[in-house]
Amino acid sequence: MTTKYSGAQRSLPCFRWSLTSGEGGPSSEWERRAIQRPRTIDTPGITVSRGLGAWDWDIRTHNVKWFGKSYALFGISKSQFRGTLEHVQEIVHPDDREQGMRAFSMVLETGDPFDNTYRVVWPDGSVHWLHSYGVPVLGHDGTPERIVGTTREITEPKQVAEALHASEAQFQLIADKLRVGTAVQVGTSTEYPDDCARTEFLANMSHELRTPLNAIIGFSDILKNEVFGPLVNEKYFEYIWYIYGSGISLLDAVIAFIDISELELTKVRLKEDWTEIRSLIQACIVKLNAIAREKSIHVVKEIPPSIPKTLFCDPRRIKQILENIIINALRYSHSEGVVTIRVSVLDQGQIVFSVLDAGIGMDAELIDRALRPFGVTGNSMARTGGGIGVGLTISKRLADLHGAHLSVESVPGRGTSVSVTFPRERTGDRKTLT
């Protein structure tokens, strides 16, 4: 997908360099770099990888030679190209011309490679993102004579990144306004979400956000797996993995929005069965291992042999409860800390799932806020740990649906313990499920 451009043409910026000795001429930096680079490159023999364009710019004459896919990347035919830097600049988007010439100037001043991301406007008005990389070629006197390099189109990853950024901004705006109950602009109307109406609005908007996020994740997955060809530059992998990971994180937040709205609208229906407890716990640990490894946190599992084997519950929702609590423990724990997942049985037979950490902890006011939807969104705790501030709320609501009780004990600076206590009638010893 491409965008269209229509705008007034601007005059080209004028850059001139002196390639002789004296003011503006070659410096000792160039002399030092002269022995590190080949003095000549035979451009007629350039081999261009599939999908790449190659170019050779003569610094003295400002003539430019193109090879490979260069003509297609700039949207013109070989016969249409005048072979000058001025013509190249005419095709570059007016807002990006000056930065490109500054980048060329830096190559000549420092000897560093040319590295520039910019837009070009094709004759049909469509706008495409390109990335060019080149190195200076030195003459026999050690001064730069030409810059040669390659060009690749990056329109799709650039659009994915921009869409992700826009979705994140819209998502945060909605979250902030819903948290304080202020008006939210939707299309041409202004909404004042409150109570049930706010929840309905939240559910609808979450589904609206989910659609473009699925596209962002899908396209970035195609790019990172190089479905349509290789990505030569290693930086692309880094950026695409960032886009993919950010999209997944944002989608998780949208799903949390949907969950909390469905819980407030009492649309959640449990699908219950006798479920093995140890399997539930282990599945949560495996899923969250990556987060624990990233912070070098040791996850300890304490499940004594004497506990009942099974719990009558909706296994997907119980995993959701535990994952939300464990993620919070990992987020707010110090690096190289310990998070303990404990299962115990009370004297009257109730089974208790507990998650303990030695992290930053909370005071009574913050505990109260953490148990309310969006109670910690936007405050320092949310900014420190990430997330949108609904994890404990969702866990508490899901625990309530199971007839269980969620409790939080915490001491600032010493850590937090979150426990979910299930009624006795939900525990059992169904050996057929082992």
- Give the integer Cα–Cα distance in Å for 198 and 389: 17
pLDDT of residue 205: 57
Q: Characterize the bridge pairing of strands 338-345 and 351-357.
A: antiparallel
CATH class of 3-153: alpha beta
pLDDT of residue 139: 80
Q: How confident is the model at residue 366 (pLDDT cuts 50, 70, 90)?
A: confident
Residue 271's contacts (CB-CB under 8 Å, 6 or more residues apart) are 314, 316
Count of beta carbons in the 10 Å neighbourhood of residue 368: 12
Do 130 and 73 form a contact (C-beta atoms < 8 A)? yes
Query: Hey, is 81 helix, strand or coil?
Result: coil
Give the C-alpha distances (Å, rounded to integers) separating 89 from 74, 128, 154, 176, 362.
11, 14, 19, 43, 58
- Give the integer Cα–Cα distance in Å for 71 and 81: 8
pLDDT of residue 169: 62
Q: How confident is the model at residue 36 (pLDDT cuts 50, 70, 90)?
A: very low
Average pLDDT on 383-400 reads 75
Please determine, for residue 390, whether its predicted confidence score (pLDDT) is greater than 90. no
CATH T-level fold of 273-433:
Heat Shock Protein 90 (3.30.565)
Do 38 and 118 form a contact (C-beta atoms < 8 A)? no
Secondary structure letter of residue 182 according to DSSP:
-
- The segment with the largest mean pLDDT, out of 208-217, 362-371, 425-434, is 362-371
- Higher pLDDT among residues 61 and 22, named by residue: 61
Residues 109-124 have pLDDT tens digits of 888 888 899 999 999 9
Average pLDDT on 182-209 reads 51
Question: Following CA atoms 267, 273, 276, 282 in sequence, which dihedral angle do they give, to the nearest 10 degrees?
Answer: -20
Tokens of 384: 């420190």
Helix axes 315-331, 277-294, angle to 10 degrees: 30
Residues 258-317 have pLDDT tens digits of 676 667 656 678 999 999 999 999 999 888 887 888 889 999 999 999 899 999 999 999
Do 133 and 150 form a contact (C-beta atoms < 8 A)? yes
Average pLDDT, the chain: 75
Please determine, for residue 33, whether its predicted confidence score (pLDDT) is greater than 50. no
Please determine, for residue 242, whether its predicted confidence score (pLDDT) is greater than 60. yes
Domain positions in the chain are 3-153, 157-264, 273-433
